[in-house]
Structure 1
Amino acid sequence: MKREKMAPPLAVVVMGASGCGKSSVGERIAAQNGMAFLEGDQLHPPQNVEKMAQGIPLTDDDRLPWLDRIGAEISTALDASQGLVISCSALKRSYRDRLRQAAGGRLAFVFLEGSRDLLLSRMQARQGHFMPASLLDSQLQTLEPPAGEPGVVTVAIDNALDDIVALACKGLSGMAVKGGD
C-alpha cells in the first residue's frame, strides 16, 4: 500500500479495547509521520495499574484523572505545534469528547476494531503487561464504538500490522481536522 502522511500539528489517539494493538500501531503511525508517540498506559496513576493487575475493572472515577493527564499531554504538544500520537482505550464517547475538548478540536481517533476471540488470543499471548485477559469482557461491555463520530478512522485488526498502519494513515490523511480557535 502507498504510505500516506498526515499534516501536523495533529494529535491522534489510537483507541480500542485491550489487545487491539494500540501501542504497536501508534508507534508506527508516529514514526511514519515524524511525530512523537506516547504510551497512554504510562500515564495511569499507580492505583489504577494495581486495580487492573488484580483483575478489578476501572470505574469512570478511576479513568477521569487519567484521561485528563492524556488531554494535558495532547494540549501541550499541540500548543508547541508538535504532532502527537497517543495510545488510549477511550472506550466511551464521553471520554473521547473530553479528549477532543482538551485538544481544541485538533484531534483524530483511530479505532482498532476486532472480535472478542482475536482480542483475547492477543491478550493471552502477550508477556509482561499488567492488564489481565480476565478484564477483556468488562472493556467490551464499556466500549461505545465511535460509529458516526467526527474525526474517526476505523480499521479492522485482522489485517497485517503494516496494512493496519497504512489504512489508518490513509484515513487520517483524508481527514480535515480544524485548527484551534
Structure 2
Amino acid sequence: MASTGGFNRAKMRDPKRMLNQSQKDKWSDVIGNLGQTNMQIFDGAGQTIAEMRAKTRKLMHQFPDKKPILCIDYLTLITSSQVYGGNSHQQVTEISKSLKTMAKDFDCPVICLAQLNRSVESRADKRPMMSDIRESGSVEQDADVILFLYRDRYYNKESQNNSLEVIVSKNRNGQVGTVEVNYSEKTGAILG
C-alpha cells in the first residue's frame, strides 16, 4: 500500500487520522489497483512447506493462466517436518531444499527472506556477505540468486545518501555485482 500509493508507512498505522484528504481520496484507487493483482497473503505463523504447497496448488487451480510468485517472510519462521533435536542447521537445510523443490515442481520463483547473523555489526564495512546468512551453507548451496540490501544511511544517520544498494552475491545464471537505486525511506518504494 505504502509504495504503490506513495503513503508514508508511519502514517498508515492510523490512516484515518494521519493521512491528508488527497491521500484519503487516493486510498480506494490504490486498494482497487492492488486487488487486480490477485495477491494473496497467508500470514499464519509457523506454516510448513506442505501447507505452502497446498495453498500454492489451490492458487494455481484458481488462476490457471497466471504463474505464481511465492514470497516468504522469512526462512526460519517456517516449521520443519522434523525437530532434529533442536539442530537449527539441519532444520534450515531441510527447509532450503524443500523450497528449491517447490520452485522446481511448480515452475515458479520462490523468494525467501532470511535473517543475518550479528557479525555484520562488528565490521567496519557493514555491507552483508553470504557468510552473514544464518545457517548459510545450505542456503548458499540451494539458492539460484542471493541478494542483499544495504543503506548507508541506516548505519550513518548524518549521511545524505538516500540510495539503496542491491548486492547480487550469487547469480547462478548471470553476473554478480551491486546496483544502486533511489529509495524512499518513508514509503519503501524504489524510485529508479
Q: Into which bin does the TM-score normalised by the smaller protein fall?
A: 0.3 to 0.5
TM-score (norm 1): 0.34
Q: Which has the higher contact order (CA 8 A, sep 6+)?
A: 1
TM-score after normalising by structure 2: 0.33
Q: Which has the larger radius of gyration?
A: 2
